[in-house]
Structure 1
Amino acid sequence: MPSLSSSLERVGMPAVDADWLHHLVGDWQLVSDLSFADLVLWVREPDLGTWTCLTHVRPNTGPLVFYEDMVGQPAGPRRAQLLVRCLAEGRLVVEERPEWLNDMPLREEAIPVVRDGRCLAVMTRHSNLGAMRSPSRLETTYRATADTIIGMIATGDFPQVSATADRRRGTPRVGDGVMRLDLDGIITYASPNVISSLHRFGEHGRVLGDYLSRIVTEGIEDRSVVEESLPLVLTGKAAMRAEIEGSGTNLALRSVPLSDNGERVGALVLVRDVSELRRRERELLTKDATIREIHHRVKNNLQTVAALLRLQSRRVDDDLAREALAEAERRIGTIALVHDTLSRTIDEAVDFDDIVSRAFASIVEVAGRGAAVTGEFEGSFGRVAAEDANALAMVVTELVHNAVEHGLDGNGGGVVRIRAARRRVADEQRLTVDVEDDGAGLPEGFSPGRSGLGTRIVSALVQDLRGWIRWETRRSGGTRATFEARLRPITGTERVATM
């Protein structure tokens, strides 16, 4: 099924016109919901002269018309005549005879989509006549508002780009609540959902016939923090969004100025109670701040432990004991580095390349003991879940430390290289890491299970990463340790960024 962008490119639609159609499609759910009707966008194929459906939207407020998606389908002869007539006359055209679909009578209307006086495409509106009944005031208001917006599409006054560019979380929809304002900002109609929302906001009087600006102004609790767009939203003079808070209720407002042949006739205001949504967001922000603070305190405590070990090692005369304490201090420092990185992020994942770079430079400098050791880093670890970060950091730093201290020991220096690569296997991420040096190679009779503590730690942690590890002597000299880890999925990312 072709996308809207690819279809517009195929028919050679200029970029500015294509952008206009994208804005229309980004906001036409509003028109479909107000109309209780399906909307279909058609464009004429430049070479064939036929009409093709670009995209299709169904209403959320009533029964749909087309169960199958219309995208990519050509217009039949009867519909093509309607589209050609609409394009030629540049106005809304109604099919005189109802169309029948699965024993369902349909009313079909063609609307020119105009920008700067030019018709870019034709939009059809399909209403189910079989579902028609004596309309309530709500339905009458909805359809009258939809007809006004349809007229604005035909004159190039809709979509309103400033509104569709704002993708704020919690944007109100027609089903959430609808108000109509006159030219002075007086409420001439309010759906039951709107009246209930305003009552929760603190308004206990009559809503109809009152100024929306008066109701909101008296209900706002903190007047020191008011969005700049709020006055324009409350009077319906601009296509904008704003949010208000009062009596423990958060309301999201969106205004859609309405016009007739370019002359403003009032506004549509959509209202949504987003109190629960904002409460959950505040909980997430508090939770994230708490988690970051915990990581920060763990890092501080680990650094304190490392400092105590360093002090203790200075009072020990036995060289082996002093070396063991130094090893413990280094390992604790690695874990502290991970928690320091986690304390700086809003989610439970880390950019592991940053951890490796910081730890790599430190290990090469300390373990090299003044020798000319060069560290090289190729590839990328990417983002790693917190559950894997500590184990992965310990494995990499142990392997690097062993390469510097043992592989290059006595060689007067050399090169230690880390090479990382990720790939997707089925539904999981696999990470393969090589740590190699150009030193003396593996010692005679090397066995990971019977070697030093560092090797045994690495083997145990790789198992925790659900992976494997092997050591080998490089043909060109030196040692290569290769391990693979099956990374856990990262959860909870971008929670706050999308709010």
Structure 2
Amino acid sequence: MSALIARMSDLGAQDVEWLHLLVADWQVISDLGFADLVLWLPTKDDDVVAIAHARPSTGATVHHDDVVGQSAPPGLRTMLLAAAQSKTQSRLREARWEGSFAIREEAIPVVRGGRTLAVVARQTYLGGNRTPSRLELNYVESADELCAMIARGEFPLAHAATGPRRGAPRVGDGLVRLNAEGETLYASPNAVSALHRLGVTDEIVGVSMAEVITPLIEESSPVDESLPLVVMGRAAWRTEVEARGVSLSLRALPITEHGERTGAVLLIRDVSELRRQERELLTKDATIREIHHRVKNNLQTVAALLRLQARRTGSSEARTALEEAMRRVATIATVHEALSQTIDEAVDFDAVFGRTLRMAADVASGEARVVTERTGEFGRVPATDASALAVVLTELVTNAVEHGLAGQNGTVRIDARREGNQLRVRVSDDGVGMDAEQAADGLGTQIVRTLVATELDGSIEWEPLDGGGTSVTLRATLADVRDAG
């Protein structure tokens, strides 16, 4: 839509935003009016082109094909241009026949700041011959009032909520018409049923909605501060009310005439089941985080026991083995600590590895001065791969310090490159290098090879560097990252 407007007209950024706000909120008018809405834009070359289209979910559509980008037919074009010039609504005296069915057409100028930006064509399918019901009459009357607001430059509502507070509920979920005092003029059957589930048993027509809902709110339950404004129809906002285990989503559309509020349309939807499912998800997320937290605590306990055992061991070889086991357990605990702090089953691996990298280098270097340099980014890594990847990289860094630098001062470099699920990590040092036998038979190397093949679905290669040092290249295929949202 923005591309069409930019190419065909000279409308400014604020005018374009006004049209976007209209299109974002006009589905309610289409549903209330049982009509297709087509937004027609007068162009710089005196053409009239469709730039947006909404079909009603409450009735039959007039346009089965996409009309966006098409020019208006001659008869409709004349009516659209006349409405744009006069800034008033116009309707054809007689229905237009389209094959076997008739269409009632109306042109509504989209006015902002006294200028016509575009024209909305309201086209209603007249295929059925029957007396409209009371619900349909109230729907159409509400649509007429909102269309009149478009022509006066009062819709879309400039101060309406955006984001999650704009949009639903829909017309079919439940509708209540209010007068200027917030009293009910009409309530659709779906709206009556939703209010009954909330606890409203008396007749609500002629009664203020605020007086109906306020006694039902439990003293201990939280109340949205916008609730009074919404149920009185005074603010174009959306809120929720909860009572007796039932949650209703309420959305108000104030009806104005020349700036004076004359009533409102209140849309109501029962969202009790949706909120129950959300609470279940929150409970599951909290449970998962608690599990990760307890696993982290247990692993830290195991690491502490290994540290105590290492201190009491007289054999230096056994002490070294216990310290290495302690380091591996502590690395896995770090991953679970990160998982316990998020609702997603994925971790920011750059943050996790930053902590384990320094720990591994400091423990392995002893008295030597070892510098670690990192380039590139790991990104978000799923929990299924994070522990194995952390252990593998910790082993590679430890081997580079212990065997590559061999107790000497030096530098270990880690370069990470991520493309989608494919990860390539290169760990290199500027030391004396590892011999082939050591690279093949060491316990750390065997752990690395096993985890890379079985957990990371990847490969690993060792190669000497010119001038001394060793380079290890890890390639891994990570699982998809699934966020909680």
- Candidates 15, 18, 31, aligned match of 1:17: 15
In 2, Cα distance between equivalents of 1:143 and 1:281 = 35
Q: Is the 8 A contact 2:246 2:272 kept in 1?
A: yes
SS in 2 for 1:163: coil
Q: Which amino acid aligns with 1:456?
A: Q
Hey, what does 2:287 align to over in structure 1? 290
The CA deviation string for residues 172-208 of structure 1, in whole angstroms up to 9 with x for no partner, is 1111100001122111110111111111111111122
SS in 2 for 1:396: helix
Alpha-carbon shift at residue 240 of structure 1 (Å): 1.3
Alpha-carbon shift at residue 169 of structure 1 (Å): 8.8
* CA 175–382 in structure 1, closer or farther in 2 if over 3 Å, else same: same
Hey, what does 2:423 align to over in structure 1? 431
- Candidates 375, 389, 392, aligned match of 1:392: 389
Hey, what does 2:445 align to over in structure 1? 455
Task: Say if 2:478 is the partner of 1:487.
Answer: yes
* CA 296–216 in structure 1, closer or farther in 2 if over 3 Å, else same: same
Residues 299-310 of structure 1 mapped to structure 2, 5 A cutoff: 299-310=296-307
364-373 or 221-230: bigger deviation = 221-230
Hey, what does 2:409 align to over in structure 1? 413
Hey, what does 1:107 align to over in structure 2? 104
* CA 132–89 in structure 1, closer or farther in 2 if over 3 Å, else same: farther
Hey, what does 1:128 align to over in structure 2? 125
* CA 444–225 in structure 1, closer or farther in 2 if over 3 Å, else same: closer
- Candidates 442, 453, 463, aligned match of 2:434: 442
Residues 139-158 of structure 1 mapped to structure 2, 5 A cutoff: 139-158=136-155
Q: Which amino acid aligns with 2:471?
A: R
In 2, Cα distance between equivalents of 1:237 and 1:144 = 19
The CA deviation string for residues 331-373 of structure 1, in whole angstroms up to 9 with x for no partner, is 0000000000001101111111101111111112221113221
Q: Is the 8 A contact 2:345 2:382 kept in 1?
A: yes
Identical residues among aligned pairs (%)? 51
Q: Is the 8 A contact 1:39 1:57 kept in 2?
A: yes
Residues 319-330 of structure 1 mapped to structure 2, 5 A cutoff: 319-330=316-327
Task: Say if 2:370 is the partner of 1:373.
Answer: yes
Q: Is the 8 A contact 1:33 1:60 kept in 2?
A: yes
The CA deviation string for residues 2-31 of structure 1, in whole angstroms up to 9 with x for no partner, is xx2222332332111111111111101111
Runs of 4+ deviating beyond 6 Å = none
Q: Is the 8 A contact 1:32 1:59 kept in 2?
A: yes
Hey, what does 1:478 align to over in structure 2? 469
- Candidates 32, 38, 43, aligned match of 1:45: 43
Hey, what does 1:27 align to over in structure 2? 25
Q: Which amino acid aligns with 2:107?
A: A
In 2, Cα distance between equivalents of 1:102 and 1:372 = 87
SS in 1 for 2:229: helix
Alpha-carbon shift at residue 474 of structure 1 (Å): 1.9
Q: Which amino acid aligns with 2:448?
A: V
* CA 19–380 in structure 1, closer or farther in 2 if over 3 Å, else same: same
TM-score by length of 1: 0.93
Alpha-carbon shift at residue 219 of structure 1 (Å): 0.9
Task: Say if 2:253 is the partner of 1:256.
Answer: yes
The CA deviation string for residues 215-273 of structure 1, in whole angstroms up to 9 with x for no partner, is 11011113662211111111111111111111110011111111233332211000011
Residues 288-367 of structure 1 mapped to structure 2, 5 A cutoff: 288-367=285-364
* CA 310–200 in structure 1, closer or farther in 2 if over 3 Å, else same: same
274-283 or 214-223: bigger deviation = 214-223
Q: Is the 8 A contact 1:170 1:274 kept in 2?
A: no
TM-score by length of 2: 0.96
Q: Is the 8 A contact 1:423 1:431 kept in 2?
A: yes
- Candidates 226, 239, 242, aligned match of 1:242: 239
- Candidates 147, 164, 168, aligned match of 1:167: 164
* CA 162–262 in structure 1, closer or farther in 2 if over 3 Å, else same: closer
Q: Which amino acid aligns with 1:453?
A: L
In 1, Cα distance between equivalents of 2:170 and 2:97 = 30
Alpha-carbon shift at residue 213 of structure 1 (Å): 0.7
Q: Which amino acid aligns with 1:420?
A: A
* CA 59–21 in structure 1, closer or farther in 2 if over 3 Å, else same: same
In 2, Cα distance between equivalents of 1:125 and 1:223 = 47
In 2, Cα distance between equivalents of 1:171 and 1:220 = 22
In 2, Cα distance between equivalents of 1:444 and 1:299 = 36
SS in 2 for 1:184: coil
Q: Which amino acid aligns with 1:469?
A: I
* CA 224–447 in structure 1, closer or farther in 2 if over 3 Å, else same: closer
In 2, Cα distance between equivalents of 1:162 and 1:439 = 66
In 2, Cα distance between equivalents of 1:227 and 1:132 = 45
* CA 85–55 in structure 1, closer or farther in 2 if over 3 Å, else same: same
Q: Which amino acid aligns with 2:460?
A: I
Q: Is the 8 A contact 2:30 2:54 kept in 1?
A: yes
Alpha-carbon shift at residue 111 of structure 1 (Å): 0.7
Task: Say if 2:34 is the partner of 1:36.
Answer: yes
In 2, Cα distance between equivalents of 1:404 and 1:331 = 16
In 2, Cα distance between equivalents of 1:477 and 1:139 = 84
Residues 177-256 of structure 1 mapped to structure 2, 5 A cutoff: 177-222=174-219, 225-256=222-253
336-345 or 196-205: bigger deviation = 196-205
In 1, Cα distance between equivalents of 2:230 and 2:257 = 19
Q: Which amino acid aligns with 2:478?
A: L
Q: Which amino acid aligns with 2:472?
A: A
SS in 2 for 1:8: helix
Q: Which amino acid aligns with 1:417?
A: R
CA RMSD of aligned residues (A): 1.6
In 2, Cα distance between equivalents of 1:398 and 1:131 = 76
Q: Is the 8 A contact 1:442 1:472 kept in 2?
A: no
Query: Which structure 1 residue ranges, 5 or more long, are not aligned?
Result: none
* CA 169–482 in structure 1, closer or farther in 2 if over 3 Å, else same: farther
Q: Which amino acid aligns with 2:238?
A: R
Count of equivalent residues: 483
* CA 446–452 in structure 1, closer or farther in 2 if over 3 Å, else same: closer
Hey, what does 1:382 align to over in structure 2? 379
Hey, what does 2:69 align to over in structure 1? 72
Alpha-carbon shift at residue 133 of structure 1 (Å): 2.6
Alpha-carbon shift at residue 144 of structure 1 (Å): 0.5
- Candidates 62, 83, 87, aligned match of 2:84: 87
169-178 or 274-283: bigger deviation = 169-178
In 2, Cα distance between equivalents of 1:250 and 1:294 = 31
In 2, Cα distance between equivalents of 1:19 and 1:433 = 46
SS in 2 for 1:130: coil
In 2, Cα distance between equivalents of 1:444 and 1:348 = 38
